[in-house]
């Protein structure tokens, strides 16, 4: 079967590629319906990743956040039309210690191999998780981003000390919002404080106990553990501010992605005995946990809906470009593409 794949060939330029796929029982075919743009996609689209990386990875189809409908299952385990969320991480082996998203042999869609911007996505059969019928499809489109926070919380739970009175979340964007929301739900008796750059974004975090602008933090504020959800150049000052604010032996979960290495105050990391927990991507179990969590906590979907900034029907390559450009000019939230190409 010949499939049409919409690939980024150079910054801000997409072309259609035609690829032959052969079907076997290990695969299923999904027609994407709702796709959502991640900051990582924008770093490729705008050429921020640098010439060497782009030369290695392009042409490549972007997007690793999305849902679709099953159109074909050779084993007939899934009914045609079943709504599913797609798992972008694709492991080629398993390991008893190292999770699938940290294995060097794993492939991740839209970071080295083709993402979801295709007419049909061919997936290993364990790379989809069925959705429940009440799930808002525009929120479901960015379930992958919710799994990132879910995964970070499960790593935190395994690795951090047990005092959880006060959490600090740095970053007033989408990932900070979702992480703060999940923390508030998972640790009902804990205080969650958000630290951000923008008053208008912090106003959206109505469910947290406290929020501060990073240039106006009272000197007596202390946190037990922190989640850094900033990324880019801002992550340097965020991490160093966390180091100053955290109490000894606290943990810092690092989630923000930077293009360049950042300088951090190692002297104070040592002196305070801080644990740094790197957290990247997610695996099938995080998707299962997230869908189960959303099914059992449907009131939370209302909060997640406030992250939807724009919903763009996409029928042509120009529509893809328009959606990416619109996303770049939005100061808040997620851009969803209704995939009708
Ligand atoms: N670990 C993982 O697997 C994943 C990581 N990410 C990464 O997480 C990061 C955040 O993603 P996302 O929320 O979507 O992006 P956003 O750009 O929406 O959020 C980042 C927010 O942090 C704010 N900010 C900038 N500097 C600081 C600072 N020093 N302290 C506090 N806040 C600050 C930004 O404000 P302003 O815009 O005004 O600068 C912005 O509102 C990105 O780097 C992204 O690539 C995303 C998904 C998965
Ligand atoms: O967004 C992400 C996961 O949701 C990751 O940040 C992304 O996969 C990083 O990939 P890359 O190295 O290609 O920037
Ligand atoms: Zn992402």
Residue 272 sits in a domain whose CATH number is 3.40.50.720
Answer with the one of 239, 259, 278 that is the final residue of a domain: 278
CA neighbor of 204 nearest in space, from 332, 70, 23: 332
C-alpha of residue 40 to centroid of ligand 3, in Å: 6
Residue 24 has what pLDDT?
A: 84
Helices (H), the chain: 39-45, 51-57, 137-140, 143-159, 174-186, 199-202, 234-245, 266-272, 284-296, 300-305, 317-329
Q: Can you give the CATH number for the domain in which 133 is found?
A: 3.90.180.10
Check whether residue 40 and residue 157 sit in a common domain. Answer: no
Q: Do the domain assignments include residue 13?
A: yes
Q: Do the domain assignments include residue 74?
A: yes
Residue 35 has what pLDDT?
A: 99
**CA-proximal residue: ligand 2, atom 9 (nearest):** 40
C-alpha of residue 65 to centroid of ligand 3, in Å: 7
CB 176 within 8 A of CB 170: yes
269 vs 235: CA distance, rounded Å = 16
Ligand 2 pocket mutation, candidates 256, 281, 282, 327, criterion most atoms within 8 A of CB: 281
Check whether residue 66 and residue 191 sit in a common domain. Answer: no
Check whether residue 23 and residue 128 sit in a common domain. Answer: yes
Helix, strand, coil percentages, rounded to 5, for the chain: 30, 30, 40
The number of folded domains in the chain is 2
Residues having CB within 6 Å of any atom of ligand 1: 38-40, 145, 148, 170-176, 195-198, 201, 214, 229-232, 234, 237-238, 255-257, 279-281
- Calculate the CA dihedral of residues 150, 332, 232, 13 and round it to 10 degrees: 110
Residue 25 has what pLDDT?
A: 85
- Calculate the CA dihedral of residues 39, 43, 45, 47 and round it to 10 degrees: 170
Residue 275 has what pLDDT?
A: 98
Cα–Cα distances in angstroms (integers) from residue 89 to residues 165, 239, 285, in the given order? 34, 27, 11
235 vs 230: CA distance, rounded Å = 5
Q: Which atom of ligand 1 is nearest to the CA of 40?
A: 45
Check whether residue 161 and residue 198 sit in a common domain. Answer: yes
Check whether residue 75 and residue 178 sit in a common domain. Answer: no
Check whether residue 74 and residue 172 sit in a common domain. Answer: no
- Consecutive 10-residue runs of the chain (341 residues): their mean pLDDT? 96 97 89 98 96 96 98 96 98 98 98 96 97 97 98 98 98 98 98 98 98 97 98 97 98 96 97 98 98 97 98 98 98 98 95
Answer with the one of 257, 278, 299 that is the final residue of a domain: 278
Q: Which atom of ligand 1 is nearest to the CA of 231?
A: 43
319: Cα within 13 Å, side-chain hemisphere: 15
Which residues, including other chains, have CB under 8 Å from residue 161's CB and lie 6 or more apart? 249, 250, 251
C-alpha of residue 157 to centroid of ligand 3, in Å: 22
Q: Which atom of ligand 2 is nearest to the CA of 112?
A: 13
Domain that holds residue 105: 2-142+307-339
Ligand 1 pocket mutation, candidates 175, 196, 211, criterion most atoms within 8 A of CB: 175
DSSP, res 93: S
Check whether residue 75 and residue 204 sit in a common domain. Answer: no
Residue 22 has what pLDDT?
A: 85
Check whether residue 95 and residue 193 sit in a common domain. Answer: no
């Amino acid at each position: 079967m010949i499939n049409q794949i919409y690939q980024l060939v150079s910054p801000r330029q997409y072309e259609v590629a035609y690829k032959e796929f052969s079907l076997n029982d290990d695969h299923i075919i999904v027609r994407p319906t709702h796709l959502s743009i991640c900051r990582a996609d924008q770093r490729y689209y705008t050429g921020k990743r640098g010439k060497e990386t782009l030369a290695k990875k392009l042409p490549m189809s972007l997007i690793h956040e999305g849902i679709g409908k099953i159109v074909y299952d050779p084993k007939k385990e899934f009914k045609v039309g079943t709504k599913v969320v797609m798992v972008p991480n694709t492991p080629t082996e398993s390991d008893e210690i190292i999770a699938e998203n940290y294995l060097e042999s794993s492939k991740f869609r839209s970071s080295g191999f083709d993402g979801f911007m295709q007419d049909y996505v061919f997936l290993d059969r364990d790379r989809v998780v069925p959705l429940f019928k009440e799930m808002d499809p525009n929120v479901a489109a960015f379930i992958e981003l919710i799994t990132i926070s879910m995964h970070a919380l499960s790593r935190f739970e395994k690795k951090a000390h047990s005092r959880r009175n006060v959490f600090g979340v740095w970053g007033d964007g989408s990932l900070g919002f979702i992480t703060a929301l999940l923390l508030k739900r998972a640790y009902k008796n804990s205080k969650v404080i958000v630290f951000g750059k923008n008053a208008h974004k912090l106003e959206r975090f109505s469910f947290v106990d406290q929020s501060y602008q990073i240039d106006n933090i009272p000197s007596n504020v202390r946190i037990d553990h922190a989640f850094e959800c900033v990324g880019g150049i801002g992550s340097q000052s965020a991490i160093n501010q966390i180091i100053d604010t955290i109490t000894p032996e606290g943990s810092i979960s690092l989630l923000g992605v930077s293009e360049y290495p950042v300088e951090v105050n190692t002297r104070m990391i040592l002196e305070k005995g801080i644990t740094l927990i790197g957290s990247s991507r997610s695996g099938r179990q995080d998707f299962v946990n997230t869908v189960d969590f959303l099914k059992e906590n449907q009131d939370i979907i209302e909060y997640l809906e406030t992250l939807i900034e724009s919903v763009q029907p996409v029928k042509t390559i120009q529509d893809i470009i328009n959606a990416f450009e619109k996303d770049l000019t939005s100061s808040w939230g997620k851009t969803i593409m209704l995939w009708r190409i």
